[in-house]
Structure 1
Amino acid sequence: MPLMDHLRELRNRLIKAILGLVAGMVVGFVFFDPVWSFLQEPYCELDAAYRASGGRECNLYTNGLTEGFFLRIKIALMIGAVVSAPIWLYQLWAFVAPGLYRRERRWTYVFMAAAVPLFLLGAVLSYVTLDKGLSILLGFVPDNTVPLVTITSYLGYATAMLLVFGLTFELPLFVVVLNLAGVLSSARIRRSQRMIIFGIFVFAAVATPSADPFTMLALALPTILLFEVAAFLAFLNDRRRARRPDPYAELADDEAAPLDLEEIDAELEKGERAR
């Protein structure tokens, strides 16, 4: 396709994705109360000594006129991004897929099938450990001092925890993808294993918003376990690859590799029909 046609298609895909996001934000405004109560639950589980209201109440505070309005906007945007994910992911895929070969599309399917559960697993773990990190942070408040936690600071902390845990759980998946692509071998992973584990602990200490030892271990230990699984999968893939004969083993270094032109033409024709 000419460049202008690509730009027009990109514009159409972006418009559809934005419309899906706007529709998801409408859903977010409707379900704001239950979602905000769900996000606020870890704070409500804290000991009464850590809450300014004390007793059984778990009130958060606001110190600005527009803070409540922007809180609803942020929550609606988060819900909208999640609800409309099938729409904008499909638009992204529909724009990119015609330029991929069959094997590359298969890898993309596998990557997405693993990426979504891993991100959700990390988000669930962060939600479970959210109250522990809050109790450690608020435990440093001096005596005779009332911690007035605002809704903006609490939402920022909770959102950062969800994103950090979710995205960190994706890192072992990239190890598997690099191994499948032939960029990273299992032997190299084994040689760098100690440094990688040390780097995971350093990353967990720096990336977590609370930077407390409990949250760091809650992030680092599962990530190391996932990394070991990824290293084992890389080992199995390298062993399978070693058993397969190399079709280019008999070629000289300066000899061109044979191309399957029929397969390439079929892929191009299929991409044209998809457009």
Structure 2
Amino acid sequence: MARARKKQNPEGRMSLGEHFRELRNRLLISCIAIAVLSTVGWYFYQDIVDVIAAPVQAVAEERGDELVALRFQNITEPFATQLKVAIFSGILLASPIWLWQIWAFLLPGLRPKEKKVALAYFFVSIPLFLAGAGLASYTFPRLVAILLGFTPEGVGNLPGMAEFLSLVLFFMLAFGLAFLLPVVLVALNQIGVLSARNMLRSWRITLFLILVFSAFMTPDPSAWTMLAMAAPVFFLYWCAVGTAFLLERRRRGRGDDPADRYAGLSPDQATPLS
């Protein structure tokens, strides 16, 4: 049937209604995948909570009292927290499925060369994001111990379970996105918005911003944790600079520099879209 449709419509054009139906089907597949895999998070809820609460429990055992612990504020919050953990687990486990659905929806509108480039960015972004999230999960227990260490002896510190869970997710998301910095920089370079030479000249400003971000995310008085987190992000920045120089050299060799597209345009002439 697909072959017959392709013969009838060789250019692969779709009407607006067909686009909406295609979007509906792919959203439905994504939602079903998330709902099914959310049962995994629901079933292993206790194990997930044990991992999340481990840093707080370690501090409580070190202090030798029960004045440091996670708490629920009302009788409905345990159910809401378990539901949140289940849905987040489903979104995480189903990420290959719903990411592919997004990609498959956009795929027909791209040219063959654009498909290869976008697919490369897609497969590079996933391990970088997971690496950032993994680094965050590795350093988060130390962050919790440092923050709870400011609690005076004899004073209770009972953070809410929902707020603590949101903090964990925010921490992992922030570092996952930070590790996507080289992908964004290389993409901007490839479309001609940011040159490799400008990236090289801005390394001091970039280092300052990375240090500020790391200091905000890891309030460690010794600054070692801040440097440990800033170092890989700054290393990835230099990888992006090197990649940008290689791509520009390759484009110049082919005579396909994006900056050359706008060289002969007048100020009142629109720039080309491709």
The alignment's TM-score, normalised by the length of structure 2, stands at 0.81
Cross-structure match for 2:148 = 138
C-alpha spacing 1:246/1:92, structure 2 compared with 1 (3 Å): closer
Structure 1 residue 202 displacement after superposition: 2.3
Cross-structure match for 1:35 = 48
In the TM superposition, 1:79-94 aligns within 5 A as 79-94=89-104
Structure 1 residue 53 displacement after superposition: 2.4
In the TM superposition, 1:93-104 aligns within 5 A as 93-104=103-114
Deviations 1:192-211 (A, max 9, x none): 111111122223334x2x54
Check whether the contact 1:17–1:91 (CA below 8 A) recurs between aligned residues.
yes
From 16, 25, 48, give the equivalent of 2:29: 16
Cross-structure match for 2:268 = none
C-alpha spacing 1:235/1:45, structure 2 compared with 1 (3 Å): farther
Cross-structure match for 2:240 = 230
Check whether the contact 2:30–2:101 (CA below 8 A) recurs between aligned residues.
yes
Letter in 2 for 1:162: M
1:106 correspondence with 2:132:
no
C-alpha spacing 1:234/1:48, structure 2 compared with 1 (3 Å): same
Q: Which runs of 5+ in 2 are unaligned?
A: 1-13, 266-274
Whole-angstrom CA distance in 1 between matches of 2:219 and 2:239:
26
Deviations 1:15-67 (A, max 9, x none): 2211111111122212222222222333344363457527xxx8532221111
C-alpha spacing 1:46/1:222, structure 2 compared with 1 (3 Å): farther
Where relative contact order (Cα < 8 A, 6+ residues apart) is larger, the structure is 1
Letter in 2 for 1:23: V
Matched residues, percent identical? Answer: 36
C-alpha spacing 1:158/1:49, structure 2 compared with 1 (3 Å): same
C-alpha spacing 1:246/1:44, structure 2 compared with 1 (3 Å): same
Letter in 1 for 2:92: V
Whole-angstrom CA distance in 1 between matches of 2:198 and 2:180:
20
C-alpha spacing 1:26/1:51, structure 2 compared with 1 (3 Å): farther
Whole-angstrom CA distance in 2 between matches of 1:143 and 1:14:
52
C-alpha spacing 1:164/1:222, structure 2 compared with 1 (3 Å): same
Letter in 2 for 1:42: P
Check whether the contact 1:133–1:214 (CA below 8 A) recurs between aligned residues.
no
Check whether the contact 1:176–1:233 (CA below 8 A) recurs between aligned residues.
yes
Check whether the contact 1:27–1:80 (CA below 8 A) recurs between aligned residues.
yes
From 26, 39, 46, give the equivalent of 1:26: 39
From 16, 41, 49, give the equivalent of 1:3: 16
Cross-structure match for 2:87 = 77
How many residue pairs get aligned? The number is 247
C-alpha spacing 1:50/1:4, structure 2 compared with 1 (3 Å): farther
* Partner SS, residue 59 of structure 2: coil
Whole-angstrom CA distance in 1 between matches of 2:163 and 2:132:
21
1:151 correspondence with 2:164:
no
User: What's the RMSD between the two structures over aligned residues?
Assistant: 2.5
Cross-structure match for 1:164 = 174
Structure 1 residue 109 displacement after superposition: 1.4
From 66, 82, 85, give the equivalent of 1:53: 66
The alignment's TM-score, normalised by the length of structure 1, stands at 0.81
